[in-house]
Amino acid sequence: AALCRGLDSLDVCASGVAPDVIKGIRDAAIEDDAEVEVVMTERALDTIRADPEMRGWFGDVLVAGGRILEHPGHAYLVAACDRLAIVGLNDEAGMPRGLVESTDGDVFDWVSSTHSRCRAEAEPVDESGFAD
């Protein structure tokens, strides 16, 4: 979650849900005024919608102008946090099992292109699903 803070931009493509990370994404959008775009699987978004606190955090992201999109499915995490690239792998339950951080330009470019591909395959969420 600390990796989400103090950024100008945060682009995430994820299939798992960790409440502290969802809160960090919210804080980046609201408190840091970062440009936020999150692409998540339907399963992950359903988990967030079912939890009042996390649902509210994503509602805050949307109100702040962040984008949340639903992807048909992937089993990994990629995030571009300014110039830091994050790559993670999840198990079949969507829980993170490994995480790599890199400032290498080639890794960052791969993460950015993977996020762009995920975005192109995704659909914007119905914002009413995150309203209180």
Q: Are 129 and 49 in contact (CB under 8 A)?
A: yes
Any idea which of 23-27, 32-36, 73-77, 103-107 has the lowest mean pLDDT?
A: 73-77
pLDDT of residue 4: 66
Number of domains the chain contains: 1
Mean pLDDT within 17-35: 92
| CA quadruple 71, 127, 29, 40: dihedral, nearest 10 | -10
Indicate whether 132 belongs to any domain.
no
Instruction: Note the pLDDT of residue 117.
Output: 93
Quick check: 4 and 21 in contact, CB under 8 A?
yes
Instruction: Please indicate, yes or no, if residue 71 is contained in any of the structural domains.
Output: yes
What does 12-46 look like in DSSP terms, one character per residue? EEES---HHHHHHHHHHHHTS--EEEEEEEHHHHH
94 in any annotated domain: no
Q: What is the CATH number of the domain that holds 77?
A: 3.30.870.10
Q: pTM here?
A: 0.88
Note the pLDDT tens digit of each residue in 50-69: 999 999 999 999 999 999 99
Is there a domain that residue 124 lies in? Answer: no
Residue 99 falls inside a structural domain: no
Q: How many CA atoms lie within 13 A of 30 on its CB side?
A: 14
Residue-range definition of the domain harbouring residue 9: 1-82
Decide if 125 is inside a domain. no
- Residue 117 counted as domain residue: no
